[in-house]
């Protein structure tokens, strides 16, 4: 028994010393995809928002497959959410981390004069900002229609705010109408 404990202790201490001897800088280049895109032009972000518009609303579980689960044509494995009618929050996160964040990025890149803002190539940057503002209002309108009070003024701030406050639905609507009016006036034909 003592011999076995001695082996375990030696193995444990050896492992600790082995991991302590590694420099953290050695791991920075591991699992870095050299072909991954590090920056995206705004026209690609806008295209992604348009392509995702049809998939954001009826997410795969909520829109397409949920009726099949309701009718019990399929059985679920360890996470039986859809067949138990637990579909309230299926499409909440996709908007904030997907389309809405991309629209905010489009607006930010165009207003700061970033070289990634390529709205001026195929039209004015103001038009691209206006389209992004209109789509952003549309998405927030959908979210507040579905959920009522939602994070709006404090939303999309990334690491700066992990717990955004929920704004009242009526305040969101007033701001959305203001945004739509301003965005419409911003469009140059």
How many Å from the N-terminal Cα to the C-terminal Cα in the chain?
Answer: 85
CATH class of 40-186: mainly alpha
Give the CA count within 13 Å in the CB-facing half-sphere of 181.
6
Q: Running along the chain, 189 residues long, what does each successive block of 10 average in pLDDT?
A: 83 79 66 79 85 58 57 62 59 78 91 77 83 94 89 88 91 97 92
pLDDT in the model for residue 172: 97
pTM comes to 0.68
Residue position matching structure tokens 């003592």: 2
Task: Report the distance separating Cα 147 and Cα 110, nearest Å.
Answer: 30
pLDDT in the model for residue 83: 59
Q: Cα 37 vs. chain centroid, distance in angstroms?
A: 17
pLDDT in the model for residue 5: 83
Beta carbons within 10 angstroms of residue 99's beta carbon: 23
167: three-class secondary structure by DSSP: strand
Task: Report the distance separating Cα 80 and Cα 69, nearest Å.
Answer: 9
pLDDT in the model for residue 61: 45
């Amino acid at each position: 028994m003592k011999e076995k404990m001695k082996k375990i202790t030696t193995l444990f201490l050896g492992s600790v010393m082995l991991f302590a001897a590694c420099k953290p800088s050695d791991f920075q280049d591991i699992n870095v995809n050299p072909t991954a895109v590090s920056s995206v032009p705004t026209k690609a972000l806008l295209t992604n928002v348009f392509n995702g518009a049809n998939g954001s609303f009826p997410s795969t579980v909520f829109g397409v497959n949920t009726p099949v689960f309701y009718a019990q044509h399929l059985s679920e494995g360890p996470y039986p959410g859809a067949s138990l009618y637990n579909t309230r929050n299926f499409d909440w996160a996709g908007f904030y981390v997907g389309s809405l964040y991309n629209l905010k990025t489009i607006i930010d890149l165009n207003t700061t004069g970033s070289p990634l803002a390529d709205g001026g190539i195929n039209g004015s940057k103001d038009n691209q900002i206006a389209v992004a503002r209109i789509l952003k209002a549309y998405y927030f309108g959908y979210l507040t229609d579905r959920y009522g009070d939602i994070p709006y003024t404090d939303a999309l701030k990334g690491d700066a705010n992990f717990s955004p406050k929920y704004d009242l639905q009526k305040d969101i609507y007033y701001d959305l109408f203001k945004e739509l009016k301003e965005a419409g006036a911003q469009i140059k034909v």
